Structures are given as structure tokens and as C-alpha cells.
């Protein structure tokens, strides 16, 4: 009998300690060290599982994830110990193509791009600046400031799992930022700009990336403002850089691309669904948290589709019916994949949806760029 009482007492004390750690995390997450935070979150998640048998996606074991996903920086990645692969994962290469193609759109819209060795070299350097360097900086700094949320939603990611130290991540942030700004300055000199417009765009985009992720502003705390800022960074800024590099950035293009960035807002919402639990716990008002997943997924697809239909209407009114029809034709497969994947389950099929639908969105941007160049 004494043995049974001792066992029960030991179990109760163990549960008490576990719940206390969980409470301590929820009150003051920023005061904890990285290693301590991982223990704490694990405890808090265990308690949550006891109350509600639904947990975030499990971390893949060393043999259970995809090495390809790891290199692209998307969900379902295999565990990795190679520091260079981990650093690449933090930059999320899967997010580079829209920025790279945004530069192409800007160059096409300028009407001054020629298939010469010099122009091709300029565009490649601009793509390197926009994609691997400054987008890599954006994604790395976002992961750094999201480490508490990721410890809840995706505890297997590089920073919360401890496979890379916070000091190493900070070093990477600075290298990517300075490298991107350095190339921007080089492009201004190369293009003979009196005003370093490419550098100013790169600096402004880097500032937006910082205040999007970092306190005290942390724009991503507000789903509307944060997602629009992200959408504008992905659609407008690389377009502006490409057009400024080869021609003149005009007010009508600035307005048009900012309106197109409403579609980028929709794309940004896609990434919020997998973070609902952590966002809710830490008080971030993403649209899935503010409106619920069911409403937010319709806001997402509505922002993407209505924006493109409106731009097609603008092109039609501008006397460019063939471009308008081409853009409308590219919207159809996007709508199909929205019903096929995203609207069924925005968490389960987010990667499939983006891989299937986003190429048509980017091609639509290129059609619009070509239309504005004539």
C-alpha cells in the first residue's frame, strides 16, 4: 500500500512540474533559452494533446522526410546535420522563383531589354540579388523571429530543433543582407544611374522584411497589413528593380503592380494555415486566426482570382484584348487547383497547391508585363 501511495505521489508531482513548465512558457516565452524553450514547448504540447487529441504535423524522423523538401525549405523535410544544407533550408529556395521571374517581368515591361550578353548578365545579377540573397535574408530573419511559433507548429525546423545556433543564424542574416545590398549598388553603377534606385528598392525591401518579422512593429501580427506587405515584396519590388535596371519606373506601373500585390496577399495567406495553433497561442492575428480557417481560405482564393480578373479588365479597357484573354486563360487552371487542393484542405495540400497554381500566376504577371511594354 505504501508503495502504491509513493508511486501515485511521484506521478502527481511529475505532472505538477510538467504543467508548471508549460505555464512558465506561455507567460514569458522570450526569457527562455533555445534549449529550455524546446523542453518547455514539448511539455506544453503534451498537455494540449491530453485535452485535445490533435497535434501539429509531426517532425519527420531521420529517414522519414524528404531530402528534396529539406533543400527547398518546405514542410516534410528530412532531418539534416550538414550545416550548408541547413543554411540553404533556412533561405527557402522554393520561394525564390517568383522573385526571379518578377525581375524578368520588370525587364520585359521596360521595353529596353535586348538579348545581348551584357543585358543577360545584368538580369542574372538582379535575379541573384532578388532571389537567393534578399529573399534568403527575408526567409532567414522570419525563421529567426518565428522560432517560438515554430517550436509549437514545426518543432523540427532548424532553429527550434537546435541543429543550428542562433548566432550562426544571425551571421547568415547579415551576410545575405549585405550581399544583396552590395549587388544592388553594383547594378546602379553598371546601369549608369544618377540616383541609386535599385539600391533604394533593395534597402526599402529589406526594411519591410525586417519590420514584417521583428518586434516592435512585427507587421505579420496583423493579417491584412502583414500579408499585403509580403505580397508587395514578392510581386512589386522585383518588377520595379528589373524595370528600373533597364528603363524607367513609371507611376502607372507602380500603381498597377501594387494592385497586383493584392493577389500576393492571397498567396501569403496560404502559409498562415499551418501556423494557426502557434499564432493563436502567441497572439498573432493572422487571417485564419481572426476569421477562422473556413472563411480565410475563401478570402485567400478571392484575393488571388478577383485581382487577376480586374487586371484582365484593365488590359481589355486599354485596348489589349489578346493579352486580357491570355490572362483570363491562365486564371482557369488556378481556379481548378484551388478546388482540387487548397479549398479541400489548405494545410494538407498547401505545397501541392502552390506548386500547381503559382506557375500560372507568375505567367499571368509576365503577360501583364508584356502588355504594358507595348
User: Looking at residue 22, what is its pLDDT?
Assistant: 37
Nearest partner of 102 among 328, 264, 278, 308, judged by Cα: 264
- The SS3 of residue 240 is helix
Contact present, 300 and 354 (Cβ < 8 Å):
no
Angle ∠(34,40,45) on CA atoms, nearest 5: 125
State the Cα–Cα distance between residues 188 and 227, nearest whole angstrom: 29
Contact present, 337 and 355 (Cβ < 8 Å):
no
What are the φ/ψ torsions at residue 54 (nearest 5 degrees)?
-140, 120
Over residues 228-286, the pLDDT tens digits come to 998 899 899 999 999 999 999 999 899 999 999 999 999 999 989 988 888 888 888 89
User: Looking at residue 70, what is its pLDDT?
Assistant: 66
Contact present, 136 and 169 (Cβ < 8 Å):
no
Q: Which residue intervals of 251-286 are DSSP H helices?
A: 251-270, 276-281
User: Looking at residue 71, what is its pLDDT?
Assistant: 66
CB atoms closer than 10 angstroms to residue 6:
10
Q: Give strand ranges (E) for 234-348.
A: none
State the Cα–Cα distance between residues 179 and 182, nearest whole angstrom: 5
User: Looking at residue 86, what is its pLDDT?
Assistant: 92
Contact present, 265 and 231 (Cβ < 8 Å):
yes
Nearest partner of 106 among 330, 362, 359, 366, judged by Cα: 366
Domain ranges of the chain: 1-55, 83-372
User: Looking at residue 156, what is its pLDDT?
Assistant: 84
User: Looking at residue 63, what is its pLDDT?
Assistant: 41
Partners of residue 301 on adjacent β-strands: none
DSSP state of 273: G
User: Looking at residue 52, what is its pLDDT?
Assistant: 35
Which parts of the chain sit beneath pLDDT 50?
Answer: 1-64
User: Looking at residue 81, what is its pLDDT?
Assistant: 80
Amino acid at each position: 500500500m505504501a508503495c502504491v501511495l509513493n508511486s501515485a505521489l511521484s506521478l502527481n508531482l511529475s505532472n505538477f512540474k510538467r504543467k508548471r513548465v508549460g505555464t512558465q512558457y506561455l507567460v514569458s516565452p522570450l526569457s527562455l533559452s533555445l534549449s529550455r524553450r524546446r523542453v518547455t514547448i514539448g511539455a506544453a504540447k503534451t498537455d494540449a494533446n491530453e485535452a485535445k487529441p490533435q497535434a501539429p504535423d509531426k517532425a519527420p524522423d531521420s529517414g522519414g522526410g524528404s531530402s528534396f523538401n529539406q533543400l527547398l525549405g518546405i514542410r516534410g523535410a528530412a532531418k539534416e546535420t550538414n550545416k550548408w544544407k541547413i543554411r540553404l533550408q533556412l533561405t527557402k529556395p522554393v520561394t525564390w522563383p517568383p522573385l526571379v521571374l518578377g525581375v524578368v517581368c520588370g525587364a520585359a515591361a521596360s521595353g529596353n531589354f535586348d538579348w545581348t550578353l551584357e543585358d543577360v548578365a545584368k538580369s542574372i545579377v538582379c535575379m541573384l540579388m532578388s532571389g537567393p540573397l534578399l529573399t534568403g535574408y527575408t526567409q532567414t530573419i522570419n525563421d529567426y523571429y518565428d522560432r517560438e511559433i515554430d517550436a509549437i507548429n514545426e518543432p523540427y525546423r532548424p532553429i527550434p530543433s537546435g541543429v543550428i545556433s542562433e548566432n550562426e543564424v544571425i551571421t547568415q542574416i547579415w551576410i545575405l543582407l549585405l550581399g544583396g545590398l552590395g549587388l544592388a549598388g553594383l547594378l546602379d553603377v553598371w546601369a549608369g544611374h544618377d540616383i541609386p534606385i535599385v539600391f533604394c528598392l533593395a534597402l526599402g525591401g529589406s526594411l519591410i522584411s525586417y519590420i514584417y518579422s521583428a518586434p516592435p512593429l512585427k507587421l505579420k501580427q496583423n493579417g491584412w497589413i502583414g500579408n499585403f506587405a509580403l505580397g508587395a515584396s514578392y510581386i512589386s519590388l522585383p518588377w520595379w528593380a528589373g524595370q528600373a535596371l533597364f528603363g524607367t519606373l513609371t507611376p502607372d506601373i507602380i500603381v498597377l503592380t501594387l494592385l497586383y500585390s493584392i493577389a500576393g496577399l492571397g498567396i501569403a495567406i496560404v502559409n498562415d494555415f499551418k501556423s494557426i495553433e502557434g499564432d493563436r497561442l502567441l497572439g498573432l492575428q493572422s487571417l485564419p486566426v481572426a476569421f477562422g480557417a473556413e472563411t480565410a481560405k475563401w478570402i485567400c482564393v478571392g484575393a488571388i482570382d478577383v485581382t487577376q480578373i480586374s487586371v484582365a479588365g484593365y488590359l481589355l479597357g486599354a485596348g489589349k484584348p489578346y493579352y486580357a484573354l491570355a490572362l483570363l486563360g491562365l486564371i482557369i487552371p488556378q481556379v481548378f487547383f484551388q478546388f482540387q487542393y487548397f479549398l479541400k484542405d489548405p494545410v494538407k495540400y498547401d505545397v501541392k497547391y502552390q506548386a500547381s497554381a503559382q506557375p500560372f500566376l507568375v505567367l499571368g504577371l509576365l503577360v501583364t508585363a508584356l502588355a504594358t511594354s507595348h
